Amino acid sequence: MPELLFREALNQAMTEEMERDEKVFLIGEEVAEYDGAYKVSEGMLARFGEKRVIDTPIAELGFVNIGIGAAMGGLRPIVEVMTFNFAILALDAMVNTAAKARYMSGGQLTVPMVLRGAGGAGGALAAQHSQALESQYTHFPGLKVMMPATPADAKGMLKTAIRDPDPVVFIESEVLYRMKGEVPEGEHLIPMGKGEIKRSGKDVTVIAWSRQMWNLLHMVDDLCEETGLDIELVDPRTLRPLDEELLFDSVRRTHRVVIVEEGHRMNGFGAEISDRIQQHCFDQLDAPVTRVTNLDVPMPYSPPLEEKVLPNRQRIVEALRAVAYLD
C-alpha cells in the first residue's frame, strides 16, 4: 500500500471524485493558481481547468453562498476555506441556508456540498488562527461533520463527503497536512457516521479525533508503559452523526473513559460525548468520565506556551491515572 502525505491523500480523493463526476468542482481561496494555501489542490488547475478549479476573493460569506447556490442547482461543490477561523464569517450561510434547505423546502432542495479546510492550532499562529470550532457545526441539525486523523481516513472520508446528498463540514488539522501514512489505492470509502477502534485495550477507553488522535497513536505505547494501563483508542471520525454504539461498546469493555480534544472545555464536543456515555453506560463506569482539553485561554503565539495550552502528555497521563485511581 503506498504511503502518502495527508494533503496528498486529500488531493487524490478530490481528483478521483472530479474524474468520476463532472458535477464536482473546487472553489476557494488560492486553490487554483497557487495550488492551495497548503498545497492540497496542487496540480488540479492544470488537470481540470479554470472552470472546475476556481480562485475566489477573501470573502468567505460570498463564495460559501456561491457554493450553496451551485449545490441547489445540481452541482457538487467542494468549497475550501483557508482556515475554519475564517469560516466564522460564513456561519450564517451554513447554518441558516445549507443546513435548513432540505427541511424548509420539504425535500425539494438539497445542498450536496463539502465545506473543507484547516482547523485547530497550526503552530505559532496565535489566537485568531488557532481555534478548534467543530462544536459550532455539530450543534445544527442538517449539517454533517467529519474530522479525519490519518491519511487513509482523509481520503476515504472525503470521497464519502463529496458523494453525500447533504452539506458536510470537513475539518482538517493544519498540523497533519505534512504527516505521512499508508493509503489504499482506488475506490476507498469510509461510511458516514462510522468510527474506528484505532488500538484495542482493556483498561481505559481514550476517545479523540483529528490531530489529537494522531498524537495519541504515536504516544500510546509510552502511555501504556508509564501508567501500566492497556489503553483502547477510539476515533469517532464523524462527529455528526456520531457512532454511539462503537463508543458505548468500548466503554462497556473498559469501564473508564478519557476524552482528549483540541478545543476549550466549555461546550466542547467532548462534553456531548461524555453526556451520552453517562446516560447510556452509567452503570458500566468505574470512574467519572474525564476530559483533557485546551486550557481556557486564547491561544498564545509563543510555541512553548501553545504546547502548554494544548492537550499534552503530562495532562493526559494525569487523566489516565485519575480514572484508574492510581494516585
CA angle at 210 for the pair 283 and 252, rounded to the nearest 5°: 15
Q: Which of 239, 295, 240 is nearest to 264 (CA)?
A: 295
Torsion of CA 137, 290, 193, 31, to 10 degrees: 50
Cell of 78: 467542494
**Is the distance from CB of 183 to CB of 1 less than 8 angstroms?**
yes
Catalytic residue of the set 8, 16, 80, 129: 129
Catalytic residue of the set 16, 60, 80, 262: 60
Give the H or E element holding residue 259: strand 257-264
Identify whether 60 is a catalytic site residue: yes
CA angle at 191 for the pair 15 and 95, rounded to the nearest 5°: 80
| DSSP state at residue 129 | G
Strand partners, 29: none
CA distance linking residue 113 with residue 291, whole number of Å: 33
Q: Which of 263, 254, 326 is nearest to 292 (CA)?
A: 263
**Is the distance from CB of 130 to CB of 106 less than 8 angstroms?**
no
CA distance linking residue 99 with residue 93, whole number of Å: 9
CA distance linking residue 142 with residue 164, whole number of Å: 12
| DSSP state at residue 320 | H
CB-side neighbour CA atoms (13 Å) of 74? 1
CA distance linking residue 129 with residue 173, whole number of Å: 12
| DSSP state at residue 174 | G
Identify whether 22 is a catalytic site residue: no
Known catalytic residues? 60, 129
